[in-house]
Structure 1
């Protein structure tokens, strides 16, 4: 199972860090940078005023490689030093469950549109929560029209020397589409209605569930 480092920039920050050097980190398998889109794509949920200005996802096959990359003065720290030190990012490492075939964009199309969702938690019984989500909610999500990717993330503990605060969402999800129009169509589909009905049967939990529509840019990584 892959692991992913989320680096989440605060709302309103205008500085997009230079991410090209990140692509040379040992063990890094994929890299995605998300920026918010202003248009409304969800008929039920208005665009959030506090959307992060940038979300960076760094994927590794092994936790040890991620920890090596995120050590103090390591390659991630060196590349993103100024925005990290300035407190513009929070960090969270999570396990990745890829539940739909990952069809990466071809070289002529390195952008897609993503709906990022966080369940801040906590759940009253996390085992019951996750079992229901994976057994009932995720299969519905996987039938969204024109879906390109579906990933569910759960938190794990690890070491990190990055000088930024840790986020602690109990779960994150993303669904990915070719563009904002395809995402909007999926969110207006009958599948979404089925998802809303199932949502109301989820085991009890607390916390917010922010939804962010993002423009997603994929790094073109060399083989390590």
Structure 2
């Protein structure tokens, strides 16, 4: 599976995306051809305790769109499409003027003990992490990370999803800035409180112990807890032509 990430950042800080703008984006991306799932990420309404709060509040808005394969994703990245419009704000004042970046990556999913959210979960919380890179040896980096880190992540209390994203080559015609982080990953929990409980548990000690064994890399890493809204494809996409 392929994921497109788009990130909207406010250099001055403080920008909040209004709910009506999020609703408009949900409609827009729901109609993107061959998109199988969309995820809208917004900052927490209240700060949550986690080990990397010094990384800052994160972007004003971000999204992840899933596609079944690379060609389906690339077809949605033409200069006249909805995503090209969104990359310049989509006519929405909440998004206009933000710094926008995008990246297409391979999605690697890993098992968790219980994937279903707790009954009553309204707004899950995703922990978005990225490593800008580079690593001295990308193969060595990927081998170590993929073989060791997900099994530790799985032991976080009530983690509902583990995904790691690795680089690929892709083509697009979007007006936003292309970036090529060497890796991203995402952990999903039922709520900000559940995320905070997990990331302040003793599991983080094992994560840090593995971190110091990573093959050499530059660029550090960033961690952002984000509220998560799921968008399904518009019903018309599922109808035969």
Relative to the length of structure 1, the TM-score reads 0.90
Residue 55 (1) aligns with residue 62 (2): yes
C-alpha distance in structure 2 between counterparts of 1:106 and 1:181, whole Å: 13
SS at match of 2:52: coil
Aligned equivalent of 2:158, options 146, 152, 155: 146
- The gaps in structure 1 that reach 5 residues or longer are none
Would the aligned equivalents of 2:163 and 2:185 in 1 still touch at CA under 8 Å? yes
Residue 203 (1) aligns with residue 202 (2): no
Would the aligned equivalents of 2:117 and 2:160 in 1 still touch at CA under 8 Å? no
SS at match of 1:32: strand
Q: Displacement, 1:60?
A: 0.1
- The gaps in structure 2 that reach 5 residues or longer are none
Question: What RMSD over aligned residues (CA atoms) do the two structures have, in Å?
Answer: 2.3
Would the aligned equivalents of 2:43 and 2:57 in 1 still touch at CA under 8 Å? no
Cα distance change on mapping 1:191 and 1:50 into 2, 3 Å: closer
| 4+ residue segments displaced more than 6 Å | none
- Count matched residues: 222
Q: Displacement, 1:51?
A: 1.2
Aligned equivalent of 1:76, options 83, 101, 105: 83
Q: Displacement, 1:57?
A: 0.4
Would the aligned equivalents of 1:91 and 1:164 in 2 still touch at CA under 8 Å? yes
Relative to the length of structure 2, the TM-score reads 0.84
Would the aligned equivalents of 1:110 and 1:217 in 2 still touch at CA under 8 Å? no
Q: Aligned residue for 1:127?
A: 139
C-alpha distance in structure 2 between counterparts of 1:81 and 1:109, whole Å: 33
Q: Aligned residue for 1:157?
A: 169
Aligned equivalent of 2:48, options 37, 40, 52: 40
Q: Aligned residue for 2:101?
A: 90
Residue 215 (1) aligns with residue 223 (2): no
SS at match of 2:106: strand
Q: What is the CA deviation profile of residues 197-218 of structure 1, one whole-angstrom value per residue up to 9, with x for unaligned ones?
A: 1111111100020110111111
Q: Aligned residue for 1:21?
A: 28
